Structures are given as C-alpha cells and as structure tokens.
Amino acid sequence: MDLATVIGSILGWILMVTAILIGGSSLLGFIDPPSIMVVIGGSCAVIMVAFPFESIKRLPTVCMQTIFTKPSSPLALITTLVEFAEVARRDGILSLEAAASEVDDDFIKRGIQMAVDGTDPELIELIMEAELENQIMRHQQSRGILDGIGKYAPAMGMIGTLIGLVAMLAQMDDPSKIGAGMAVALLTTLYGALIANLIFLPMSDKLALRSKEEVLMKTIIIQGVMSIQSGDNPRIVEQKLHTYLPPTIRDAEAAKAAA
C-alpha cells in the first residue's frame, strides 16, 4: 500500500480547509451547489465525450492503483533470476520448471516456461517484448483519463466563472452584491484547480512512476530469461542485471557480499 498517496491526499484537503477557516470564513461560503454541478458535472460530461465507456468504468480501479501497489524490489528479482541461472547451469534448464512454478509473478513464469519448452529464443524475446510494449500502451491509456480530467476540470472552472461573471455584470443594479457575485463566480475556478492539482494530476504523476518501475522490472526479467536461456554464466547474468540497479543499492550489495 502506498501510504504517501493516502497521507498526501488527506493532508492536502485538511490544509485547504484549515486555510479557509483561519482566514475567518465559514466553509459554507465555499460550497455552492450550482458551481459544483458546473465543474464536476461538466467535467463528467466532457469526459464521456472524450473517452470510451470502458475507460471511464476503469477510472476507480486506476485511482486505486495509486494507493494499492505491491512494492517492486529489483534487487530481490535479480537474486531470484541469478538463482535460476545457477539451477539451469547446474541441473539443466528443464529443472527450472518446478522452481518457476513457485514464483508468483506471471511474467517470469511464462518466460521461464517458454525457455523450458525449448521455444526459439527470438520468439521468446518477441513475445515478451510485445507484452512489455502493450503494457506500456495500456498504462498510458489508464493515465490518459486522469490527465483528461486534469485538463478539462480547470476549463470547466473557467467556463463556470465566465457564466457567473456575465450573469453578475448583466444585472449590476446593487453594487453591494458585486462582491458576493464575484466570490461565487470565482468558486468554479477554485473547484477546477483543486480537482486538477490536488487529485488527478498528482495521481497521474504517481502512475507514470509506477509504470516506469514495472517496465524496469519486466525489462530485467526479459534480460534475465534471455540470459538463462542462452546458458550464460550466473556471474555474467548477475553483472548484466546489476547495471539496472542504482549505484547506491549496488554498493550496499557489494558491501554486504564482502562482509
């Protein structure tokens, strides 16, 4: 579970509410149902035009992905792959079948299985690379709808403010009401900015990073399976895969090995 997402989200809203209360205003002054309708309703409407139903239905799942993710550990992954390389070298590649079935990562399992089945190395690489590329594309589509809300919510906020301003200016009989009118008009811009900057844009950023991490893991797996399949020396496999680790982790690892 990604606590940072949860804490950050809650903290952000608490700060905004506190800022309003400290400023001596009541929270009620910041809640205007028609404004909420324009910004949230309008964004929903536009999102329905901009994205297919299936993407919209997956929106809650996508948002949840920013909170629930199994942490990825490239180091543990490399250790597993190097062990596999040792087993393959010692007992032959067929002996990997049992070991692989215990891993709970589907991608490794399928890769090792293909190697065990004696599938042509080029075909293994082709299939695994295609899967990686298609996954990247799917991740981009998932993020697309978050970015879409991050783009259209502020636009809806601006449209709401323009509607409010036009309405207020057209009936400017009582100057004492101008302030209140403008306050309400500005609320939609505020809503749009909050929805975009406090919720959807940072979520999209986090998913982008998670996607990159997953790509790194899958890249290591592809490299590892290809190395194992070609019967590389386990030391070479380790050396190849360690290039994917940041120097800090690598040094800690080396220190541990030396100790």
Give, as ranges, the residues between 108 and 167 that touch its own copies (CB under 8 A): 123, 126-127, 130-131, 134, 137-138, 141, 144, 148, 152, 155-156, 158-160, 162-167
Tell the smallest beta-carbon distance from residue 75 to its own copies (Å).
Answer: 13
Q: Distance between CA atoms of 138 and 183, rounded to whole angstroms?
A: 42
Tell me if 31 contacts its own copies by CB under 8 A.
no
Tell the smallest beta-carbon distance from residue 69 to its own copies (Å).
Answer: 9
Tell me if 56 contacts its own copies by CB under 8 A.
yes
Q: Which of 45, 64, 94, 252 binds its own copies (CB under 8 A)?
A: 45
DSSP assignment letter at 52: -
Task: Pick out residues in 194-223 that bind its own copies (CB under 8 A).
Answer: 194, 196-198, 201-203, 205-206, 209-210, 212, 216
Name residues whose C-beta falls within 8 Å of residue 208's C-beta, 6 or more positions apart in sequence.
143
Chain Cα centroid distance, residue 247 = 25
Tell me if 37 contacts its own copies by CB under 8 A.
yes
Amino acid at 138: R
Tell me if 55 contacts its own copies by CB under 8 A.
yes
Tokens of 169: 């200016």
Name residues whose C-beta falls within 8 Å of residue 129's C-beta, 6 or more positions apart in sequence.
222
Q: Which is nearer to its own copies, 80 or 227 (CB)?
A: 227
Tell me if 1 contacts its own copies by CB under 8 A.
no
Task: Pick out residues in 67-96 that bind its own copies (CB under 8 A).
Answer: none
Residue 204 CB: number of other CB atoms within 10 A?
21
Q: Is the dihedral of CA 81, 85, 86, 92 positive or negative?
A: positive
Q: Which is nearer to its own copies, 34 or 121 (CB)?
A: 34
Only one of the segments 39-47, 75-83, 92-100 lies at the binding site for its own copies (rule: CB under 8 A); that segment is 39-47
Task: Pick out residues in 165-194 that bind its own copies (CB under 8 A).
Answer: 165-172, 178-180, 182-183, 186-187, 189-190, 193-194
Say if CB 90 and CB 78 are below 8 A apart: no
Tell the smallest beta-carbon distance from residue 16 to its own copies (Å).
Answer: 7
Say if CB 38 and CB 156 are below 8 A apart: yes
Tell the smallest beta-carbon distance from residue 112 to its own copies (Å).
Answer: 15
Please classify residue 40 by burial: count the beta carbons closer than 10 Å to its beta carbon, then call 0-12 exposed, 13-18 middle and 19+ buried.
middle
Tell me if 63 contacts its own copies by CB under 8 A.
no
Name residues whose C-beta falls within 8 Å of residue 211's C-beta, 6 or more positions apart in sequence.
136, 139, 140, 143
Q: How many residues bind its own copies (CB under 8 A)?
A: 99
Tell me if 22 contacts its own copies by CB under 8 A.
yes
Chain Cα centroid distance, residue 53 = 20
Q: Which is nearer to its own copies, 2 or 95 (CB)?
A: 2
